[in-house]
Structure formats: structure tokens, C-alpha cells
Amino acid sequence: MKNKSLLLAAIFVLAGGGLLFGGQEGVHKGILVEKDIHVGPAESQENLILLGGSAIVDGLIKENVVCLGGRLRLNGTVEGDVFSLGGRVELGPEAVVHGDAACIGGVLVKEPGCRVEGDTVYFNLSNILPRFADGWTGFFKMTFVPFILVFKLIMVFIWLVITLIVVNVIPKRVAFASDRIRNDFGAILGTGALGLAAFTVLALLAALLCIFLIGIPLLLALMAAHFFITVFGRTAVYHFFGDSLFRAFGSAQASPLASALLGLLAVSFLTFIPFLGLLFSFFIMLLVFGAALRTKFGVTENWFRTQPPPQAPAA
């Protein structure tokens, strides 16, 4: 399998549980949310993320296709992977997938003549879910229900969806921030500690000022900042851990999507460890703040570096 993390993420999901930027001259970039799209034979698109919509691809997808609850008809070529969760994927006779094809809980149709160069992963949940339902029935009859475990599983699924979207929309920024974590680990960690401390102080101050109403706008602004920092920073951290695992096993050519999914799997597993998981989660939060703030969301090596003044031209 070219991207083994795709299979790992698929198995993990099974166990654990619109923006369309119009391009020009037949080139589309971005994601598709609950709409219909047709990529014609002469058209191409970087990535396709389908959330409850319908898509027919007769052209070229340069990277990956993610289908969440929608319907995909592929007659063209996908240079990366095809991943479907609860959707319907139809591979026509001329369809070519250079990576892996994974379908979890939906329908996968492979017509004669289609070609998948990687692995094909398919889980039919129609026979499995009744058994899980019986198990959950007995589970909720217990006197003590581990709601924390259930909540963590739900959060893992949510972060799976968020990671798929972020990596496909801004893969270069995510990869750049991940690379800075590797090369400037101490600086990233220190920046994260200072950023988290400053955020905590500002949040407490805003909460106190809410008594006089003037702190409400500040609190809302801090909540928005925390959301964007967490979304980007976590995706970069997932990519860092996944890419590090790929490198450790001798593969340095993994795609940003594969690295991020494998990192999500590894980080989520470690956070489930009692007590040590809490310490690891705090450590991850420091990296999250540091990666987002120091790299200015993946656009510069050091946001806080003082730039030297421009030199006056020689006389």
C-alpha cells in the first residue's frame, strides 16, 4: 500500500465509531460542500472534498478525493487516494486511481476495466452494526458509563473530518509548519508555552471584564483566535507525528494527507492512556500554539523575528 495510513485511519474510524473556489480555464481549487459538481474531461482539480453532495469526475484530480456521505462517479483519473465514509463511490470502466481506494460504511462499485494501483479497502457495516448495537445496549445498562471515552471517540471523528479538509485546502502551509516543528522544536515549544500562558491570562481578564460587558467582545475574539490556532496547529502537529513515523520506517515520500491521518491515529491513541494521556495532551497543546503562532499559520519561519532595516543604497 502506498499510503498505509489510509488503511489505518479507515480501521480506526470503524473501531471508534461550501466552499468551491471557482478557477479559470477549467482548473478548480478548493472544496465542495453539499453541491453538485462535474469535472469535465478537459478539466482538472487539485483536491475534491464532497460533503453530502454529488460529483461526476471525467477529468483529472491531481491529489485526493474525500467523500463524506455523498455520491461520487469517477470516470477519469485520481493521482492520489480516494476515501469515502458513508458515501457511494462508483469507479467507471475508464477510472484510474494511482493511490488507494477506501470505502467505510458505504457502497463501492468497481466496474470492469477500472484500475486501482494501490490497495482497495472496503468495510460493509450492514452486518457489523447490529452486533455493535447489541453491545452498546448492554454497555449503557452498566452502572458506570465511561462518557469520557465516548466523548473522546466523537472528538477523534470530528478531528478526522477537520484534518481531511485542512490538509486538502492548504497542504503546503501544513507541511511547512510541520517542517518547522522538526527543525526548530525547542523554539516552537517555547513559543507555544508563552502563547498559551498569554492566552490564559487574556481569557481570565476577559472573563472578569464580562461583568462590566466590555469584556464580551474580547472574549469572543479570543474564542475565534483559539479556534483557528487549534485547527491549523493540530493539523500541523498531526502531520509532524505522521511524517516522523513514515521517516522512521524508511518512507520519506508520504503525501501530506497520509502523514496527517497517521499522525492523528498515533496522537489519538496516546491521549487515551490514563494520566499520561493528560500530560501528552498538554504537550500537544504547546506544540499546537507554537506551530501556529511562530510560523504565522504556515507562511514564515519566525513571525517574531525582527527584520533588519533596509540598507541605504551606496552613493
pLDDT of 115? 92
Q: Which residues on adjacent β-strands are paired with residue 97?
A: 78, 116
pLDDT of 124? 66
Q: Which residues have a Cβ under 8 Å from the Cβ of 138 and sit 6 or more positions away?
A: none
Q: Tell me the residue type at 307.
A: Q
Exposure string (b/e) for 203-214, b if CB count within 10 Å is 16 or more? beebeeeeeeee
pLDDT of 286? 93
Region of 183 please: left (phi>0), alpha (psi -120 to 50) or beta: alpha
pLDDT of 288? 94
Asked if residue 103 lies in contact with residue 84, where contact means CB atoms within 8 angstroms, the answer is: yes
pLDDT of 177? 92
pLDDT of 290? 92
Exposure string (b/e) for 97-125, b if CB count within 10 Å is 16 or more? bbbbbbbbbbebebeeebebebbebbeee
Rounded to two decimals, what is the model's pTM?
A: 0.60
pLDDT of 171? 86
CA distance 100 to 83: 8
What are the extents of the domains in the chain? 4-123, 147-294
Query: Pairing relation of β-strands 120-123 and 101-104?
Result: parallel
pLDDT averaged over consecutive 10-residue blocks of the chain (315 residues)? Answer: 46 38 39 66 82 85 82 90 83 90 82 87 61 48 55 82 84 90 90 91 84 76 90 93 84 77 87 82 92 88 60 49
